[in-house]
Structure 1
Amino acid sequence: MASEKETSDAYNVISHKMCDLRERLENEKDKTSRLLTANDQLKAELEQFKGENEELLTRLSKIAGDRLTTDNPNITDLSDPNRPLKLGEKYSELYDNEWTDAFDCLTESGYTEDEAIETLYLTLLNVFEFCEKKAKQMLKKTDDAVNLLFDEYRKSAVLKDVPVHLTMSRKQLAKYCKEQSTIEDMQLQKRWEPSRQSYVDKNEPENDKEAESKHVKVEEQMTKVRKEVSHSILPIVQRAYMEASWRKQCVHGLKPFILQCLYVGWMMVVQSPPMCFKTALRGDKFDSNSFKQYTCTGSIVDFVVWPALMLHQCGPVVGKGVAQPEKHQ
C-alpha cells in the first residue's frame, strides 16, 4: 500500500492541477466574455452603419429623383391625382359633360351653334391665359417678397454703426454667461473683429463675393411648392376669376363649365414644364393624331371646336381636341 507521504504528494499534485485548470477556465471565461462583448459592439456598430447607409441611400435616391423629375414630363408621380395623364382624362370629360351642357344652354338662350362653339372655345383660352398669368405672378411676387424682406433689413442695418440685432442685452447674455454680476450689453460685431491690431487674417479673400448684394433665386423651389399646394389654391383661383368676370345676367348653365375650365387650366400651368394647348387654322391639313372630327369627315380643317391638350410645348398629345373639317362640295 502507498505510504501517507505518497498519498499526500499525489493529493498535492492533483490539487495544483485542479487550481491550474480552474485558473485556465476562468481565463477562458474572461476571454470569451470579452469576445462576446466585442461581438455585441460590432453588431451594434454594424446595425448603426446599416441604418446610416439606408438613410444616405434614401437621401441620394430623393436627390437623384428630384433632379430626374425636375422639368422632366416623361417621369410622373403616380400618386399625383392631377398628373398630366389624369388631366388628359378630365379634359376629355370636360368636353363630353360640361361643354355639352353649356353648349345646350347657349343655344337655348338664343345663340347659333357656331356662336356657342366659338364662345366656349374662347372661354377656355381666356381661362387658361388667366391661370397662366396668375401662376407666373405667384412665382414673381414670391421671389420679390423674399428678396425685399432681407434687402430692407440689410439696408436698415447698414445705416447704423452697430445693427440692433448684433447688440446682446444683459438679459440675453445672462442665459449664457456664468459671471452674471459683470455682464454688460455687448456688441457682438466687435467680437467678430480681431482683438489684436497686429493680427493678419490669412483667410480674408481678395474679393469678398459673399458680401456683394445678390438677388436670391427661389423660383425653382417655389415651382415645387406651387405644385404641392395647387389643389388648395384652386378655390381661390376660381373665386378670383368668377368674382371679376361673372354677372347675374350670365347664363347660369355656363358656370360649371367655367369652373371646370379653371380647374384644368390651373392644374396645367403648375406642371413642370407647364402643359399647353394645340390648335389649328382654317385650311390646315386635318391631324387625326391631335383632333377628332366633329360632325363630318374631311382632310382640311374648317374650324377648331376644342383644342388638343399637350404634355408640354411641342410635346405629345395628352387629350385629343375636336375640329370640324371642311365639307366636301
Structure 2
Amino acid sequence: MSSSKADKKSVVTTLPKEAEEYLIGLENENKQLKDEKKYLLSRLSQVAGVLMTEDNPNITDLSDVNRPINLGEDLSQIYDDEYTDIFVQLKEKECERDIHNEMLSIAERCFRFCDSQEKEQFEKILNVFQFNDVANRQSLPRGVIKHVKELRTLSLKNTEANLEKEFMRHLISKTKQSLLKYDDESVKKYISKCVSFFWKACIQTPPLKFDFNVPPGTPFDSAVHRKCTVNGPNVAYTVWPVVYLHENGPVLVKGVVQCDGKLADSKKEGTKPSNTKL
C-alpha cells in the first residue's frame, strides 16, 4: 500500500518537470522556426530587390551612394569647382576656346579609357566565375550583374587609384595636352576627379551615357544644354557633356555649350565659364 502511494506521488512530482522540459523544447523549436522565417524573408527580399533593380534605371536603389542622381551632382561639382579653377588660372595664358576644348578633351578621353577598362574587367570577372560562353550581358543569370557591381563598389578606392595612374600614363603617351605641361596640382586634381566620376558612371547598371560633341551650328536646345558665357541661337562648340540616365534615356544632367553670339544682344566672352548648377 505504501509502495503504491509512493509511485503516485512520484508521478505527480515528475509530470510538471516533464511538462516544463516539453514546453522548453517547444519554445526552442518555435524560436528556430522564427529565425528560419526571418532568414527566408530576408533572402526573398534580396532576390526580389535584385530582380527589380538589376539593370533597371527606372527603380532607384536608395542604398547605393553612387546612384545616378548623386553622380549627376558629382559631375556638376567638378564643372563648378575643378574645371572653373583651371579656367581662371589659364585664361591669361591661353585662348578661352582652347582651354574649353582641352578640358573637354581630357574628360572625353577619361570616359573612353574607363569604358574600355570596364569592359575588360567585366570579362575577366566572368571568366573567374566560368561564364566564358556568355554572348552578352543580357543572357547572364539574374543577379550576376548586380553582384559584379557590388564587388566593384567594395574595391572602388584601389581601382580608382590604379586607373588614375594608368590614365595619366595613357594621356601623356597618346597626346600632347598643353594642360599637362603646367604640371599644376589643380590639373592633376581635375584628372583625378574625372577618373573617379567616369569609372563610377561606367559601372552603373545600365551605365550612364554621354554626349561630348554637339555639331557646330546646331540650334541651341535649353532642354539639353545650358549656355556658357555667350548668347546666340546656335551652338559654336561644346564646353561640357550632356549626361543621359542610360542609352536613349532621359537627360540626367544638362551639358554646357558656347553659342555663336549672332544675336543682337549677345554678350562678349566672359572671363570664366558659368558655374551655375548643371
User: Which letter maps to 2:40?
Assistant: L
- Out of 196, 210, 215, the residue aligned to residue 133 of structure 2 is 215
The DSSP-based 3-state class of the residue aligned with 2:114 is: helix
Answer whether contact 1:139 1:223 (CA < 8 A) is retained.
no
2:201 matched to 1:275? no
- Cα distance per residue 1:111-136 (max 9 Å; x no partner): 21111111111221111001101111
Separation in 1 of the partners of 2:196 and 2:3?
A: 90
Taking the TM superposition and a 5 Å limit, the aligned residue runs for 1:53-202 are 53-109=37-93, 111-144=94-127
How many residue pairs are counted as aligned between the two chains? 247
- Cα distance per residue 1:73-121 (max 9 Å; x no partner): 3344444433322211111111111111222344333x21111111111
Scaled by the length of structure 2, what TM-score is found? 0.75
Q: Find the counterpart in structure 1 of residue 246 from structure 2.
A: 312
Residue identity over aligned pairs, in percent, reads 30
- Cα distance per residue 1:273-318 (max 9 Å; x no partner): 1112135333334332332221244454332211122222222333
Q: Find the counterpart in structure 1 of residue 258 from structure 2.
A: 324
Q: Find the counterpart in structure 2 of residue 235 from structure 1.
A: 161
User: Which letter maps to 1:250?
Assistant: K
Separation in 2 of the partners of 1:144 and 1:57?
A: 32
The DSSP-based 3-state class of the residue aligned with 2:246 is: coil
Higher Cα radius of gyration: 1
The DSSP-based 3-state class of the residue aligned with 1:215 is: coil
Answer whether contact 1:88 1:319 (CA < 8 A) is retained.
yes
Where structure 2 has 5 or more consecutive residues not aligned to the other structure, the ranges are 135-139, 265-278
Deviation (angstroms), 1:234: 0.1
- Out of 186, 189, 210, the residue aligned to residue 256 of structure 1 is 189
Answer whether contact 1:106 1:251 (CA < 8 A) is retained.
no
Out of 316-325 and 82-91, give the one that drifted further. Answer: 316-325
Q: Find the counterpart in structure 1 of residue 31 from structure 2.
A: 47
Structure 1 residues 145 and 66: alpha-carbon distance in aligned structure 2, compared to 1, 3 A threshold: closer
| Root mean square deviation of aligned Cα | 3.1
User: Which letter maps to 1:215?
Assistant: D
Where structure 1 has 5 or more consecutive residues not aligned to the other structure, the ranges are 1-15, 149-213
Structure 1 residues 58 and 142: alpha-carbon distance in aligned structure 2, compared to 1, 3 A threshold: closer
Structure 1 residues 29 and 289: alpha-carbon distance in aligned structure 2, compared to 1, 3 A threshold: farther
Scaled by the length of structure 1, what TM-score is found? 0.65
Out of 274-283 and 50-59, give the one that drifted further. Answer: 274-283
Out of 278-287 and 229-238, give the one that drifted further. Answer: 278-287
Q: Find the counterpart in structure 2 of residue 293 from structure 1.
A: 227
Out of 44-53 and 256-265, give the one that drifted further. Answer: 256-265
Answer whether contact 1:92 1:320 (CA < 8 A) is retained.
no
Q: Find the counterpart in structure 2 of residue 3 from structure 1.
A: none
Separation in 1 of the partners of 2:15 and 2:183?
A: 89
Deviation (angstroms), 1:20: 8.6
Q: Find the counterpart in structure 2 of residue 303 from structure 1.
A: 237
Structure 1 residues 232 and 75: alpha-carbon distance in aligned structure 2, compared to 1, 3 A threshold: farther
User: Which letter maps to 1:265?
Assistant: F
- Cα distance per residue 1:205-264 (max 9 Å; x no partner): xxxxxxxxx737797354442343233200000000112323896122332222211111
Separation in 2 of the partners of 1:23 and 1:130?
A: 88
